A and B are shown apart, each in its own frame.
Chain A
Amino acid sequence: MSFEYTPENLTKLQEMVGRYRVKRAALLPALNLAQQQLGYISPEVEDYVAGLLNVPVVDVHEVVTFYTLYKQRPSGRHHIRLCRNISCWLRGSESIEGYLNQSLGAGEGEVSQDGRFSWEKVECLGACEIAPMLQLDDDYYGSLTREKVEEILKNVKD
């Protein structure tokens, strides 16, 4: 399946490239844009972005595999990142982990059967004051209990 940016995203990228002295510096923004559009970084995306920015494909692949936010396969329609680091662990993140496992019927890194959710454990998200916390898509939710997570999941409509 070939990939290319929407005309709108292509314009965005061209604007971004102009910010830097070196074209390659736009690589992370370019990949972020592609992931927003497709949902993950496929090998075709790597080829396409490499061509646009004049970067060897292997270098693009190196970057994609280095950073944790790049997904190499489709995730659920909504993706959950549960913090597992010290402050969240002290406040019971393991119990939330158990709850996600059980309520979504999907293990870490898997997609729920209805395709709606996927989840993973991540390192500190910089919100320890509301530990234990998680990120659902773009938003942070904290002071979690099993009941609260249930509520959060219920409020996701699509």
Chain B
Amino acid sequence: MFQYIIRRLLLMIPTFLGITFMVFFILQVAPDGPFERAVAQLKSANATSESGVSMSSDLIGNSSELSPDILEDLRMQYGLDKPIIIRYLIWLGVFPKEYKRETAVIGKHFRETVDFVQINENSKKQLQKYILVESEVDKNNNISYNIIESGAGLKYSLPDVSRLQTDENFDFDKYIFFQNEYQELPSHELISTWYFSNWDLEKVNSDNTVTLVKKEFNGIFQGFLGYSEKKGKNVSTLIAERMHISIFFGFTSLILVYLICIPLGILKALKHGKRFDVLSSIIVFTGYSIPGYALGVLLLSYFGGDIFPLHGWRSPDFSELSLWGKIKDQIHHAFLPIVCYMVGSFATMTVLMKNSLMENLNQDYVRTAFAKGLSEKRVIFFHAVRNSLIPLATGIGSSIGIFLAGSYLIEKTFGIDGIGLLGFNALIDKDYSIMMGALAIQVVILLIGNLISDITYAIIDPRIRFK
């Protein structure tokens, strides 16, 4: 058993890689991606700037085309200068991503600005680093280069920071001690020397300069799902913000489906061919024939507005409600979506339960149980039902996966901002970093769900032994 689980876990790795690579590949080769959009945006910006406001000259190439330099920069920014497989490895985090590049004069400091870091309510700290490249000639006349990195934390109070951005007459020198030329390290109490530098020397240029690059492993394996430029947030944050919604809908509908379908299936099997069976079959078939989101639209048009809210996950004033009010509000908003979530698997579950029980009632062991004089109730509920639950129990893992991954159709219909809708909107916006991040999470959820399925299968059904 243990070995089996280990083997399944190991198999998950190539599956995960296969899925993500396929999607990554398609996203990268698909036309009209983020790069093309950025180019188009720049072009239109150029066009408007020429007609009216002037822009800095290096941004404008010729009249409508972008200059090759800018295109090259853009390509680098989107990572298109590397082959797809390398881009994929960068995304995974097994290949370092180059995210900064600097041409440094040997013997001179250059400053690397790191973002403001909030310390407390009204002060921020700006982290800055000073990098000095020194060349050293040893006795064999080989030149070696040392990269020395120093850092400083500058403290600003918040009003100054905002003034920095708005006030034209702001006295920069008073607050910022550094000139544009960094011959020397600025004198400052907070400056300390880094022991190592994560700048790498790429090449030595002829004009006494060197090209430095900064690389970092930053991908899925480091827990970094990507950064969405459009939303200005990390993908992991975006997903974490929505996870509870998907978990709520996923588990609630899953539990309700099992709670309703198992008794219904048992009842249908016991009353096979009778009026109850036929009537409930009609309901079950209707549920099977109507897609959940379509039912959602119908329900919305009849009950939306006055009885149930038209869209959303909770009321805007949810946090101000009392506990009872919160529960009521949540049920109020979740009722229709959960009905739609359930419709999808309702029919299959019920029929599965019914068929499975009927098959078991046909088995010899049931005959034996009857023959030794057990009561009908005991035979059915103690022997037959238990065995017929096996296929349902094994399905629970993959159901968890499917429910948690979210249905973008239902989320779109009801305007619930869950993971499914996040992925769908990313698709529309061509926000591929979100798509890939959401995909990675969903794939992992699905794979774990399948694993749970297999394990429950092995635990529940003693006939199955995995060797």
* A and B are partners in one complex rather than unrelated chains: no
Binding site for B on A (CB under 8 A): none
